[in-house]
Amino acid sequence: MYYIVTGAAGFIGSNIVKALNERGETNIIAVDNLKTNTDKFRNLTDCEISDYLDKNIFLEKLKDGQFKGITSAVLHEGACSDTMETDGRYMMENNYHYSLSLLDHCQREEVPFLYASSASVYGGGGVFKESREYESPLNVYAYSKFLFDQVVRRRWANRTAQIAGFRYFNVYGKREQHKGRMASVAYHFFNQFRADGYVKLFEGCDGYANGGQRRDFVSIEDVVKVNMFFLDHPGKSGIFNLGTGNAQSFNDVAVATINTLRVAKGESALTLEQMHDQQIIRYIPFPDALRGKYQSYTQADITALRDVGYAEQFLTVEQGTANYVKYMLAKSA
């Protein structure tokens, strides 16, 4: 029996593959697309898998019934996650229709289906609760995730096996280096500070002060733990927010990143005000291209996640960023 992980060479997918390995699981079919980003393969070099398949070849084999009776679970992390992608046709085919094929397979085979949704489905609203009235996507990426969630809801009463969708908030952590401009702000702050001695944040917008926009930043460590929890509890299904339940500012991420780097060099930690005075933190104009498409505030309501029994505490920005910066320092050394 095999675990199928889509997006396996990507950020979340590769961390899930590694977590399965740490549990002794190596019968893993890794599915991804290396056509335009070949560097992603590096995320799998320390992982053990049974086979790698291009996403299109995998889909052909899936439709031909070649995975009938041999699937333990599908962990579907593969997607086009570029929120600035303008090719709506590609986005819907890649994120929506592909996901439908996997859902159909899992329901026919009666195997667990864990998949990546997104907090972007909430759009610019201020309530982040897994309920239709709070969902209003602002771009085609968010719409592709939203529409698939709607299909899951319609099929809910007739499901044959576990279906668990995770609305990821702002995930950061190791194995994201291939994402380029779509990598987390912690990753960019780390590289900016080491290269230039300062970091750049957006000026205020939507009533928020400079760098004061607030997001629910969740560490990849916690994302993996939640996925493994549901894998261990196949009787638990639903669409769940996966964030910490606590919004923190971009300033908080910058301060945590810089101070971890300073302490690593034997320097004292600084306050936000001190960093601003010393021009270690600088603010740049908010991009016109993001106006009306940007979430200035997100904070997961994790009531549903707690109600199904997930009791682990989530890392704060300060804790998670410190772990991540230390990891990147070790890798760069």
CB atoms within 10 A of CB 38: 10
Q: Print the SS3 string covering the chain.
A: CEEEEECCCCHHHHHHHHHHHHCCCCCEEEEECCCCCHHHHHHHCCCCCCEEEEHHHHHHHHHCCCCCCCEEEEEECCCCCCCCCCCHHHHHHHHHHHHHHHHHHHHHHCCCEEEEEEHHHHCCCCCCCCCHHHCCCCCHHHHHHHHHHHHHHHHHHHCCCCEEEEEECEEECCCCHHHHHHCCHHHHHHHHHHHHCCEEEECCCCCCCCCCCEECEEEHHHHHHHHHHHHHCCCCCEEEEECCCCCEEHHHHHHHHHHHHHHHCCCCCCCHHHHHHCCCEEEECCCHHHCCCCCCECCCCCHHHHHCCCCCCCCCHHHHHHHHHHHHHHHHC
- Catalytic (active site) residue 179: yes
CB 23 within 8 A of CB 9: no
Torsion (CA) 173, 188, 30, 110 in degrees, nearest 10: 60
**Active-site pick, 2, 141, 297, 324:** 141
**Active-site pick, 179, 225, 293, 326:** 179
Query: Which token pair is 303?
Result: 């009531």
- Catalytic (active site) residue 129: no
Residues tagged active-site: 141, 179
